[in-house]
């Protein structure tokens, strides 16, 4: 089963990105670093990664990360919550995830 990793800000729990299909958490973190804006006020020490599965999510809800427990928790848009969607990606029938 392909893993999905959530990259988040350890200070706020705000989800910065989602990487589906990485070999491990370090690869997912590396992908986030490549795409991060050079002038972003976010240092490496404030970025962490947790694995998730599709079963962890309800597509109707918004989420952020509880930084103390390092798990997804329901959140509102005002709290910086993001939604996840799964479906066909690039014409294939494998599940993917994305934040929107």
Whole-prediction pTM: 0.72
DSSP SS3 for 42: coil
Q: Smallest Cα–Cα separation from 84: which of 60, 66, 50, 68?
A: 60
Q: Which two tokens stand for residue 28?
A: 């997912």
Strand residues in 1-100 grouped as ranges (E) = 4-9, 15-20, 47-52, 62-66, 71-75, 84-85, 98-99
Q: Which two tokens stand for residue 66?
A: 């509880």
User: Residue 43's pLDDT is what?
Assistant: 77
Average confidence (pLDDT) per 10 residues, the chain, 100 residues: 82 85 76 60 81 83 94 90 71 44
User: Residue 68's pLDDT is what?
Assistant: 95
Which residues constitute the domain of residue 40? 4-99
Q: Which two tokens stand for residue 61?
A: 């809800």
Number of domains within the chain? 1
User: Residue 14's pLDDT is what?
Assistant: 87
């Amino acid at each position: 089963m392909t893993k999905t990793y959530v990259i988040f800000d350890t200070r706020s729990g705000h989800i910065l990105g989602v990487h589906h299909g990485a070999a491990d958490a370090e690869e997912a973190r590396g992908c986030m670093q490549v795409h991060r804006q050079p002038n972003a006020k976010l240092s490496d020490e404030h970025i962490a990664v947790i694995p998730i599965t599709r079963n962890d999510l309800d597509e109707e809800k918004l989420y952020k990360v509880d930084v103390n427990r390092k798990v997804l928790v329901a959140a509102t848009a005002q709290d910086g919550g993001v939604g996840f969607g799964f479906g066909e990606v690039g014409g294939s029938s494998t599940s993917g995830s994305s934040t929107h």
